[in-house]
Amino acid sequence: MILYNIMFANKARILIVEDDRDIVELIEYNLRKEGYQVVTATSGEEGLEAAKSEKPDMALLDLMLPGIDGLEVCKILKTNPTTANIQIIIVSAKGEESDVVTGLELGADDYIIKPFSPKILIARIRACLRRKKQQLVDQKSVIKIEDLVIHPGRHEVLINNITIPLTLSEFRLLHFLASRPGWVFTRYQIVEAIRGDDYIVTDRTVDVQVVGLRKKLGKYSKYIETVRGIGYRFKE
């Protein structure tokens, strides 16, 4: 069953997709206390229905759901143009590095492992919403380097007018570095900037993204420079 609270219309609307009623009540209580609008769903199918009908700003998504699992829900939401802009924070007891990497690769904006602190959850929600506002401000800032065009508003990268298929995290990484040419960033700074504060960070996460990105960029891969012992920068 889908429930909707119409209070506090000036706050973001957040969809909770979780089948554990106790966890739903805990999250819902803390969200309402902060003034957020709340929608809840108890299965993957209901979550998808609510995402399309209620148009939330964000979804808090469990992975182990009855019916369609959370990873498939995440994939469907992020590949559908009508729901792709919904921010997704995965909230799951599955805490292996492979689980986190898979969730983020499918487009999730953050990953929180159960059990969690409600205060940290609220802080992570605020951080994600702030990033979204900043992204909206930057959407008109198209970056052009020779025949390489990075269009943040469309989440599109073109080389010689040909679209380059990037994952969401690859695009965010490229845009983050390209919009700050010459600046050197550590792997942690990169992850914090494109994903949010206080989630599991590994060198492998960033390095894998860079390897994949360089392959897709071809000759333009030279612009992503490795700074030994520190991290990466975009060549001026």
**pLDDT tens digits for range 143-177:** 888 899 998 878 889 999 999 999 888 888 999 89
**pLDDT tens digits for range 58-79:** 999 999 999 999 999 999 998 8
β-strands 224-227, 231-234: how paired?
A: antiparallel
Domain boundaries, the chain: 3-136, 139-234
CATH topology match: 3-136 vs 139-234: no
Report if pTM > 0.75: no
Q: Which one is predicted more confidently, 9 or 55?
A: 55
Range scoring the smallest mean pLDDT among 13-27, 124-138, 195-209: 195-209
Residues with Cβ within 8 Å of residue 174, at least 6 apart in sequence = 150, 157, 166, 213, 217, 224
What architecture does CATH give domain 3-136? 3-Layer(aba) Sandwich (3.40)
Nearest alpha carbon to residue 108 among 217, 199, 231, 4:
199
Range scoring the smallest mean pLDDT among 24-28, 128-132, 221-225: 128-132
Q: How far apart are CA 46 and CA 168, in angstroms?
A: 25
Percent of the chain with pLDDT over 90: 55
Give the domain 139-234 fold. Arc Repressor Mutant, subunit A (1.10.10)
Residues with Cβ within 8 Å of residue 79, at least 6 apart in sequence = none
Cβ–Cβ under 8 Å, residues 50 and 56: yes
